[in-house]
Chains A and B, each alone.
Chain A
Amino acid sequence: MSAGAYNFAYLDEQTKRMIRRAILKAIAIPGYQVPFASREMPMPYGWGTGGVQVTAAIIGPDDVLKVIDQGSDDTTNAVSIRGFFVKTSGVATTTRTDAATVIQTRHRIPETPLAAGQILVYQVPIPEPLRFLEPRETETRTMHALEEYGLMHVKLYEDIARHGHIATTYAYPVKVAGRYVMDPSPTPKFDNPKMHRSPALQLFGAGREKRIYAIPPHTDVVSLDFEDHPFSVQEFDAPCALCGAEGVFLDEVIVDDAGGRMFVCSDSDHCEERRAAGHEGTLAGAPAWSGAAAAAATEDAS
């Protein structure tokens, strides 16, 4: 079937209007999960159908799209989703955070601070922050309505009692605009502070669970904590081995079978730009890093 048979950005205009209405409602009630009539998409549920629907509903011909998965533009699913929008909408794409108008992401917020006018679209697997404490939707909706978040605080307290600290490291719950407790999607808690008063619009789409929620620009987003156990983010012992960046989220890469490992930026675009600007880490000369070398390595393997 040719792509020409489909509407711009795949979804028909009626569906886009329905999704836009849900987005507008979500922006009007920050952090509140708005049910929407999620469609079956030509990619599997759980692989970003919510984010794809939100992006399809808001993207226009003049937009510049960036898609990342685990912080990287080159992971297979990011490549696949970017390819989908190129095919169905023909919009320009980029890997540069500052050049994008719409950024669809799974599990990370870019290291480069976002600016006013940009929209960050999150792919969300389980939108309900209370789900693992209470499996029933009828119950959790009531709890949100009554602002009854004691259960979540008890869970965090039990973590501290048992482990000495809060044992949630990703999908760490936040309170939005002082009202709704919200799941930031499975981003590492390292990224939580970036959501607070961000000048960019943040939209969250959960396709399988049929929910959309939003954080409008400049909204308070506070990670839940206790006075004597304040929220803190992960710290890494060493800077990025390739670009030397500090204060960024690092991925651990196992390099041999003798316990050797290196830590490199999870945000691959941020890392490449730093290296292009002349920053160097301890392993910057590593042979397999460049695209050509990695492609060659793949060929060797096959």
Chain B
Amino acid sequence: MYVAVKGGETAIRNAHDLLADRRRGDRAVPDLTLAQIVEQLALSVDRVMTEGSLYDRELAALAIKQARGDLIEAIFLVRAYRTTLPRFGAGEPVDTGAMRIERRISATFKDLPGGQLLGPTFDYTHRLIDFALAAEGETAPPAERQPAGEETPRVTDLLAAEGLVETSLAAAPEAEPGDLTRAPLEFPADRDLRLQNLARGDEGFLLALGYSTQRGYARSHPFAGEIRFGEVEVEFFAEDLGFAVPLGRIAVTECQMINQFKGSAKVPPQFTRGYGLVFGQSERKAIAMALVDRALRWQELGEELTAPAQDEEFVLSHSDNVQATGFVEHLKLPHYVDFQSELELVRRMRREQAAARVEEPGEDAREAAE
């Protein structure tokens, strides 16, 4: 007879040791370096930084290594670290119009100021396994040319000049952006908080919701007005100096979605927008985020609430994969006290039902007799 009441402490210690061993794997294989992860698993690093909401490539790489490549676990590690960091203020809004562009495409105009720049993309690769990668061998450097130095204005700014697309509402001058990591999210939430939530949200969840809007659940007739990826300057307004000082550059992907809008009594027909912005090159996430952002604006645009992607409480309460994975996986914790309560009830109800059958033989008993 074995009663599992003691030994938790030893079991946990041993489990951690075993985990460390399995993480390292075969010692004959060289240990993975952070530089290798940063350089060669860059898109994993981007995702961990985005959903971990902390821009630090090395730290994200370390988290990926520690998490054995489980990205949600890595995001969790980054988040738990981030929450201990002191805050000294909010940066100035980044100017994506002044981005040092590595990739920029528009699905709405064939050509436009600044041009289309494919950049590093999987888009037109044939998805054939490249067996040559398994062998050793160096990749040749790509062709290079000097940037033309042409301005690359955002497509939405070009359209806005004609009044064809809604202008982005300027925030009140002194308005501080909300921060859902410092104040509990309350509903209804303003767009700044919604966007913050979506930016931290799970890529898979947003992908599915964005996809659902394309399949008719709150269809919004989207066009990818522009997707751009590159580096932007981060600036911080220093009180002592009286002006904004640059802190450094970060890589971001921005998606400006342009959506149809019939207009209302007050507003003439014009295009509306959905917005996505993420760290690094995470186009799938940026596009999905823009679709969901647009769907969540139904009330402001006088549309009807018909689908999950529009439902603010549903979307914002379930987008965070650190929360979701914690609660889903907590089912692994013992629940035998609750289960015992249910067992007792089910047994009692079965007893009562059996007793009732004996007292007044019902259909079952008659059928059995026949």
Chain B binds chain A: yes
**Contact residues of A with B, CB < 8 Å?**
6, 12, 35-42, 44-47, 49, 69-72, 74-80, 83, 106-108, 125, 135-138, 163-164, 167, 169-171, 186-190, 208, 210-211, 234, 236, 249-253, 255-256, 264, 266, 268, 286-291, 294-295, 297-298
On whether the beta carbons of A294 and B5 are closer than 8 Å, the reply is yes
Residues of B within 8 A of A186 (CB): 335, 337-338
> Closest 3 CB pairs between A and B?
A45-B326, A46-B330, A44-B326
Give the shortest distance, in Å, between B315 (CB) and chain A (any CB). 13
On whether the beta carbons of B338 and A44 are closer than 8 Å, the reply is no
B92 within 8 A of A: no
- Selected from B4, B86, B337, the residue in CB contact (under 8 A) with A294 is B4
Q: Which B residues, 179 to 218, have Cβ-Cβ distances below 8 Å to chain A?
A: 181-188
Given contacts A69-B333, A188-B337, 5 further A-B contacts (CB under 8 A): A12-B84, A74-B5, A80-B12, A167-B345, A170-B337
Residues of B within 8 A of A256 (CB): 1
Residues of B within 8 A of A288 (CB): 1-3
**Contact residues of B with A, CB < 8 Å?**
1-12, 76, 79-80, 82-84, 86, 181-188, 313, 317, 322-323, 325-330, 333-338, 340-345, 349, 352
On whether the beta carbons of B188 and A72 are closer than 8 Å, the reply is no
Given A72-B5, A125-B327, A208-B323, CB of A41 within 8 Å of CB of B80:
yes
On whether the beta carbons of A42 and B80 are closer than 8 Å, the reply is yes
Candidate in B9, B186, B345 with the most chain A CB atoms within 10 angstroms: B345
The DSSP consensus for interface residues of chain A is loop
On whether the beta carbons of B3 and A40 are closer than 8 Å, the reply is no
Give the shortest distance, in Å, between A296 (CB) and chain B (any CB). 10
12 A-B residue pairings within 8 Å (CB atoms) = A12-B84, A42-B80, A46-B328, A69-B333, A74-B5, A78-B8, A83-B12, A186-B338, A234-B341, A249-B340, A252-B340, A291-B7
On whether the beta carbons of A289 and B3 are closer than 8 Å, the reply is yes
On whether the beta carbons of A249 and B186 are closer than 8 Å, the reply is no
Residue of A nearest to B10 (CB): A295
Residues of A within 8 A of B327 (CB): 45-46, 125, 208
Residues of A within 8 A of B328 (CB): 46
Residue of B nearest to A38 (CB): B184
Residues of A within 8 A of B345 (CB): 167, 169
On whether the beta carbons of B333 and A210 are closer than 8 Å, the reply is no
Residues of A within 8 A of B10 (CB): 295, 298
Residue of B nearest to A15 (CB): B83
On whether the beta carbons of A294 and B2 are closer than 8 Å, the reply is yes
The DSSP consensus for interface residues of chain B is helix
- Selected from A40, A75, A80, the residue in CB contact (under 8 A) with B79 is A40
- Selected from B7, B84, B186, B325, the residue in CB contact (under 8 A) with A35 is B186
Give the shortest distance, in Å, between A123 (CB) and chain B (any CB). 10
Residue of A nearest to B330 (CB): A46
Residue of A nearest to B83 (CB): A40
Given A45-B326, A74-B6, A294-B7, CB of A249 within 8 Å of CB of B337:
yes
Given A170-B338, A251-B337, CB of A40 within 8 Å of CB of B80:
yes
On whether the beta carbons of B184 and A266 are closer than 8 Å, the reply is no
On whether the beta carbons of A264 and B187 are closer than 8 Å, the reply is no
On whether the beta carbons of B323 and A76 are closer than 8 Å, the reply is no
Residues of B within 8 A of A46 (CB): 326-330
Give the shortest distance, in Å, between B10 (CB) and chain A (any CB). 7
Residues of A within 8 A of B186 (CB): 35
On whether the beta carbons of A40 and B336 are closer than 8 Å, the reply is no
On whether the beta carbons of B337 and A266 are closer than 8 Å, the reply is yes
A49 to B342, CA, bound (A): 26
Given A74-B8, A76-B12, CB of A69 within 8 Å of CB of B1:
no
Give the shortest distance, in Å, between B208 (CB) and chain A (any CB). 19
Residues of B within 8 A of A171 (CB): 338
On whether the beta carbons of B341 and A295 are closer than 8 Å, the reply is no
A264 to B181, CA, bound (A): 43
Residues of A within 8 A of B340 (CB): 188, 249-252, 266
On whether the beta carbons of A77 and B333 are closer than 8 Å, the reply is yes
Residues of B within 8 A of A107 (CB): 335, 337-338
Residues of B within 8 A of A298 (CB): 7, 10-11
On whether the beta carbons of B322 and A40 are closer than 8 Å, the reply is yes
Residue of A nearest to B329 (CB): A44
Residues of B within 8 A of A74 (CB): 5-9
Give the shortest distance, in Å, between A78 (CB) and chain B (any CB). 7
On whether the beta carbons of B188 and A188 are closer than 8 Å, the reply is no
On whether the beta carbons of B4 and A188 are closer than 8 Å, the reply is no
Residues of A within 8 A of B82 (CB): 40
On whether the beta carbons of B343 and A79 are closer than 8 Å, the reply is no
Give the shortest distance, in Å, between A94 (CB) and chain B (any CB). 15
Residues of A within 8 A of B76 (CB): 40, 44
A134 to B345, CA, bound (A): 25
On whether the beta carbons of A297 and B2 are closer than 8 Å, the reply is yes
Give the shortest distance, in Å, between A283 (CB) and chain B (any CB). 8
Residues of B within 8 A of A289 (CB): 3, 5
On whether the beta carbons of B334 and A69 are closer than 8 Å, the reply is yes
A288 to B2, CA, bound (A): 6
Residue of A nearest to B312 (CB): A138
Residue of B nearest to A78 (CB): B8
A78 to B83, CA, bound (A): 23
Give the shortest distance, in Å, between B63 (CB) and chain A (any CB). 13
